[in-house]
A and B are shown apart, each in its own frame.
Chain A
Amino acid sequence: MAIQRVRPFRRAAVVFATHGNELAGPFVAMQLEEQDRFAEVAPSMECSCVEANPEAHEQRVRFVDVDLNRQFSAEVLASPASPEEPREIALAKALDKALGPKSSASPAQDLVIDLHTTTSNMGMTLVVQDMDSVSIGACAAVKEELGADGIPTRILWERTTREESPYLFSLGRHGVLVEVGPIATGIVEAGVVADMREATERLLEFFQRLNDHGEAARAAEAEGREAPPPVWGGGPVEVYEDLGIKVAPPQPLEDDVAMPMFHAELQDQDWVPLRVGQGLFELPCGEVITYKGEHGDDVVPIFVNEAGYQNASSGVGFGLARKTVVDTLPVVVEFERS
């Protein structure tokens, strides 16, 4: 049976303030460091906290020039440097050097966890990309654990390769984006902080268990015993596939107001299948835009009324996803033979 064999996870980065007004990430990172949690949950990993966009964080804005979390595709990273280039593109290149490079199969960070919040009613969402059994398996395992702890969790799968991905969490060898909502920007909130921290620790623990299993398997082999079963045995994982479609009302909307009025029938209804006739937006003139069924009857809205989605850089409108099943391989950490 095919197995995904990976090198040990030696270095992990917990990234925060990728969007400067999402304050739960910085708070959780501070907690993890001050309480020395890394030594506790991931003793064989070198974990660091990285503030991605300090300038935006200081100003409490999502970004200064362009959305940092759209600048990590190989194409953008390879663009020639110039004094006029937007700050976040220069920043993305610097982060690529520090955490990646993305172009390498052995980047500096084996694991990148990027912490985010959303104003949308999406609850706990773990975002993964690519056909990566490691990160998908990790999220599947953590989803079970969080669910058992009273934190219902969904996995959002981005069907993009590591190379094409515009997201910061694609810099490491493997990555997960932790997205928690709903919460306004510019504040921290007890439940959001607790859940985000729980998810981050569970993820780190999972990768630690992968390392531990690798050690145990190596020891077993040396002693001629059978290796213990893999931490992630593979198999189908239920995810929501991001369809890469944005649904927005016709532009322009209204002087001075870039955000559309989400219809009351759609507000807070993330993850609930769209129904034909469901109100989506209300235009200033009173006209209601409804769902016509053009994307099928099994699509769910995501990022409904996300405050950041009102500019071209981040993308305008809400997203669509569809429940699907992704097949994963068992994952085993293999140490170099001495």
Chain B
Amino acid sequence: MASATAAAGAGASPVRLRPFKRVAVVGGTHGNETTGVYALRRFQKHPELLARDGIDVEYCLANPKAVREVRRFVDDDLNRQYSMARLRDDSLESYESVRAKLIEQRFGPKDSDRPHADFLVDMHTTTSRMGITMIFESQGVDPAALYVAKEVRRMLAGRTSAPVFILFADLERDGIPHTPSIARSGVAIEVGPVAQGLLRSDACEWMEQAALAVMDAIARLNTGEATASEAEAVPVFQNSRVKVPCPAGEDGSPLAVFHERLQDGDYRPLRKGDPIFRGLDGEVIEYDGRLGDTVFPVFVNEAAYYLPESGLGFALCHHATLPLPPIVTAEDGAARLSLPVPPADDAEAVAAAIEASDPWEAAKAAAATA
């Protein structure tokens, strides 16, 4: 999806942020998302890949024990430990709650305006067909993260066999439980579909392409020129965090499968009455319209979301167009900014555009001719 330029009300006057001089690159937050571990080790062995003028890159293997055991986590999902409440709770004893505190000490503190890391990139994979999804979560719109995400999409267009999506969530910052929230700003790169515990060369390529593009984008943010970026209106999917759990037994065993029409249907319109699951008997369970008549599903058939610890079910999104002002970086700039979140776009209009052109087909075709 191409970004519209300079839409009305995009806020043409630049915002000022402090430069992003220290970047944390994290892999293995989930121990069975092997692509992220592989990418991390590759970047560490070949530092020239992520090196950019004026930027210090630090690397972190977040969950070494889970990585060794090729499991998502040992005791608790590490990517649910970074809320302020959990970070400041000294009574927590699980392996991951201890790891989270160590990582926050290294790259945070989360509640400081001068954390050690200016920007944090957390590398993940999913069994869902989410292509290259740039995830950012902030209280209001974080223009730095939005800039990085939209730049990755722009830079990779036509150069990668997976489509790039932006997945945004507007969340109260203290409550965000995910790794990027401990730095001033950050994104997660979520690549899929790929099974856990193995390496697919295409998924590894997507991860690497996205990480390199993130570094290019951060470097551009740091040039400090007012014309570093023009005002833009950036189309994104906004994660409502409303989840639709798959029917399951008391022991967590699935009692239904994702309906074949929803399977692999991330980012495709889901309308009230559309099938979402098939029960044991083959009976169809429909989307009940809980977030609106037309929504966009993500994390469809993600293995982790069969587990209560990670949050059950697939998630529903609206579509939104976020105004991105030009960004100037200077030492007297803000640590981070929180720009207003506009109302959701008309879902049916967006749905029609998506149905007219399959982003996966477009990406494959463009990559094939590149």
Interface residues of A (CB under 8 A from B): 23, 26-27, 30-31, 34-35, 58, 60-61, 119, 182-191, 193, 254-264, 267, 282, 284, 305-307, 310
Contact = CB atoms under 8 A, between A and B. Distances in A.
A263 B197 contact: no
B258 to A, nearest CB: 6
A256 B37 contact: yes
Nearest to B28: A256
A79 B92 CA distance: 43
A30 B280 contact: yes
Find the residue from A35, A58, A307 having the highest chain B CB count within 10 A.
A307
B68 A256 contact: yes
Contact of A61 (B34, B71, B201, B202): B71
B198 interface: yes
A259 B259 CA distance: 31
A186 B201 contact: no
B253 A186 contact: no
B200 A184 contact: no
B41 A193 contact: no
Given A193-B257, A258-B70, 19 more contacts: A23-B253, A23-B254, A27-B257, A60-B306, A61-B71, A119-B195, A183-B195, A186-B127, A187-B301, A189-B257, A256-B68, A257-B199, A259-B34, A261-B199, A261-B204, A262-B200, A267-B201, A305-B198, A305-B200
B339 interface: no
Contacts of B93: none
23 contacts: A23-B254, A27-B257, A30-B280, A31-B280, A34-B281, A119-B198, A183-B195, A185-B196, A185-B197, A186-B303, A186-B304, A187-B302, A188-B254, A189-B263, A193-B257, A256-B68, A257-B34, A267-B201, A282-B201, A284-B42, A305-B198, A306-B198, A307-B195
Contact of B201 (A58, A187, A256, A262): A262
Interface string B41-59: 1100100000000000000
Contacts of A188: 254, 257
A260 B199 CA distance: 7
Contacts of A58: 251
Nearest to A263: B201
B37 A184 contact: no
B278 A190 contact: yes
A282 B197 CA distance: 17
Given A31-B280, A184-B303, A284-B45, A307 B197 contact: yes
Interface string B297-328: 00001111011000000000000000000000
Contacts of B196: 184-186, 307
Contact of B197 (A183, A190, A259): A259
B38 A261 contact: yes
B202 A267 contact: yes
A183 B258 CA distance: 13
Given A26-B253, A261-B38, A189 B198 contact: no
A186 B70 CA distance: 13
Nearest to B193: A184
Find the residue from B28, B280, B306 having the highest chain A CB count within 10 A.
B280
Contacts of B37: 256-257
B280 A185 contact: no
In the A-B complex, the 10 residue pairs with the smallest Cβ-Cβ separation, listed nearest first, are A186-B303, A184-B195, A307-B197, A184-B127, A190-B260, A119-B195, A264-B201, A307-B198, A190-B257, A261-B199
Given A34-B281, A254-B38, A310 B70 contact: yes
B64 interface: yes
Interface of B: 28, 34, 37-38, 41-42, 45, 61, 64, 67-68, 70-71, 127, 193-202, 204, 251, 253-255, 257-260, 263, 278, 280-281, 301-304, 306-307
A305 B322 CA distance: 40
Contacts of B301: 187, 189
Find the residue from B67, B257, B278 having the highest chain A CB count within 10 A.
B257
Nearest to B249: A30
Nearest to A31: B280
Nearest to A28: B280
B195 A27 contact: no
Contacts of B200: 262, 267, 305
Contacts of A257: 34, 37-38, 41, 199
Contacts of B45: 284
Find the residue from A27, A257, A262, A307 having the highest chain B CB count within 10 A.
A257
Contacts of A260: 199
Contacts of A31: 280-281
Contact of A185 (B61, B195, B257): B195
A58 B280 CA distance: 20
A264 B41 contact: no
Nearest to A265: B201
A67 to B, nearest CB: 13
A119 B195 CA distance: 7
Contacts of A254: 38, 41
Contact of B41 (A26, A61, A191, A255): A255
A27 B281 CA distance: 11
Contacts of A261: 38, 199, 201, 204
A23 to B, nearest CB: 7
A168 B356 CA distance: 50
B261 to A, nearest CB: 9
A27 B201 contact: no
A106 B136 CA distance: 62
B127 A187 contact: yes
A60 B32 CA distance: 12
Contact of B254 (A27, A35, A282): A27
Contacts of A284: 38, 41-42, 45
A34 B200 CA distance: 37
Contacts of B258: 189-190
